[in-house]
Each structure stands twice: as structure tokens, then as C-alpha cells.
Amino acid sequence: MSISQRLKEITDKLPSDVDLVAVSKTKPESDILEAYSIGHRNFGENKVQDLVAKYEHLPKDINWHFIGHLQTNKVKYIAPFIHLVHAVDSEKLLRTLQKEALKNKRTISCLLQAKVAKEESKFGLSFPDIEALLAKKNDYPNVKIVGLMAMGTNTSDQEEVKEEFSAMNTFFMALKNEEFKVLSIGMSNDWPIAVDQGSNMIRVGSSIFGARNY
Ligand SMILES: *Cc1c(COP(=O)(O)O)cnc(C)c1O
């Protein structure tokens, strides 16, 4: 199956209120253009250098999502154009986003990354840490915190992933409002579970573009 066929197969199954970020990391620009040619506009990358190169070469109406761990010293390279930063996991990063957004005379939208997976992952905030950051959001007027992001445990135990996503959804729903409305959970192997548990943004790479060779 081609990229556009696989993409269409997934989008056809998605409820209309769920956005699909096509994760194009490590993949060539020609792959992105194939998805673009059938109308897809949301793409995700996790390396600043790759993202900037692709942004420069590809059509300017693409919405670029930064989905990985973002180092503060690299924010300046993506601040002029980034559509959504998915994984804000520290107040330091929030401060840097504020500074660079102001420099570029724009507002940068972001999600706070929650840590729900049982496996040891380096990044992500606890629910109390997220509440503490949200209480300070007025200190960052050029940053718009529009929701939450998380990664489920990488396991074949569907019940475990379901529990993690369900906990995310419960926490998200208690905070949800006009501005804070995005729940970014679900990847190639677990997006149907995530959508069942209330996700409205999934990040899918290998199911669209094929396996990655690093
Ligand atoms: C790579 C990546 C994805 C996509 O993973 P697939 O399993 O290829 O769908 C989603 N989210 C994040 C944060 C990633 O790094």
C-alpha cells in the first residue's frame, strides 16, 4: 500500500473531531509531499535540525508539530513558525518559549507532557506538577497552553495502555475549557485505544510511512 492509501485508511476510521499528526521523522520530503498531495497538512518531527530543513523546503501551509523532547537552546530555531509544541515538560522550557515567542511577535501553542507510562521514561510531568504550571500560565502571555500530551507504555498489554489513557482523559476532562482542549495521545500501535479513551489528536508515524531505519 502507498503512503496516501495508508493515510486515507486511518483518517477514514477517525471521528471527525480527532486530528491526525503524520509523524514524518527520519522520512524524506518526498514522503511528506505524497501525503500533502491528498490534502494532509499536519506533520510531526522530533529533531529540530530536520524540522527546520523540511520547513524551509516544503510548502508553507504545512502545520509543523514538534513532538519530541525540546532542548531550550534550540527553541529559537523553530519559534518563528512552529504550529504546536507537544511535549513541554519543564517551567524552564515554558520560560524559553515565552522569550522566543515574544521576540518573534507571536504566540506559540503548546501541550504539557504528562508522565503516565509505567516504564522509566526520562520526560514528562506528574499531574500535580501540571496543575502547578497551569496556575502560573499568566506569567507566559505569549505561550498558549492548549492541552496535554502523553505516551502510553510500549507494551502488548492493551488493558494497561487503556488504564493509562483513561487516567489521562479523566485528568484532562477536569481541566478542559475553551482554550485548553487538546488531548494528544495515541501512536501507531495504540491509537484506537487512545481514541476510545477520548483522544482528539493522534500522532502516527510507522503505520503511514512504514518502519523507520535509524
Ligand atoms: C515517533 C513518535 C510517534 C510516532 O510513532 P509511531 O509508532 O511510528 O506511530 C508519536 N509520538 C512521539 C512523541 C514520537 O516520538
User: DSSP class of residue 93?
Assistant: H
Distance CA 71, CA 150 (A): 18
Q: Say how many Å lie between the CA of residue 187 and the centre of ligand 1.
A: 6
Prediction pTM value: 0.97
Ligand 1 centroid–CA 161 distance in Å is 15
Confidence check: pLDDT of 102 > 80:
yes
- Ligand 1 centroid–CA 193 distance in Å is 15
3 state DSSP class of 186: coil
Task: Evaluate whether 201 touches 184 at the Cβ level (below 8 Å).
Answer: yes
**Can you tell me the distance from the alpha carbon of 33 to that of 52, in angstroms, rounded to the nearest whole number?**
16
| Cβ–ligand 1 contact at 206 (below 6 Å) | yes
Average pLDDT over residues 16-44: 98
| Interior/surface letters 99-115, b for 16+ CB within 10 angstroms, e for the rest | bbbbeeeeebbbbbbbb
Distance in angstroms (rounded) separating the CA atoms of residues 148 and 183: 5
The mean pLDDT of the chain is 96
Atom 15, ligand 1: residue with shortest CA distance: 68
Mean pLDDT, range 29-39, rounded to an integer: 98
Q: What is the mean pLDDT of residues 173-187?
A: 98
Question: What is the Å distance from ligand 1's center to 138 Cα?
Answer: 31
Q: Could you give phi then psi for residue 63, rounded to 5 degrees? A: -90, 115
Q: Is the CB–ligand 1 distance for residue 188 below 6 Å?
A: yes
Contact assessment for residue 132 and residue 178, using Cβ atoms and an 8 Å cutoff: no
φ, ψ (nearest 5 deg) of residue 27? -95, 150
Residue 166 CA to residue 143 CA, distance in Å, equals 27
Tell me, what DSSP letter sits at residue 146?
E
Atom of ligand 1 nearest to the CA of 206: 8
Task: Please say whether the beta carbons of 81 and 61 come within 8 A.
Answer: no
Which atom, in ligand 1's list, is nearest to the CA of 207? 9
Task: Give distance in angstroms: CA of 203 to centre of ligand 1.
Answer: 6
**Which residue out of 6, 187, 214 has the highest number of ligand 1 atoms within 8 Å of its CB and is therefore the one to mutate?**
187
Determine the average pLDDT of the residues in 93-97: 98
For 174, residues 6+ apart whose C-beta sits below 8 A from its C-beta are none
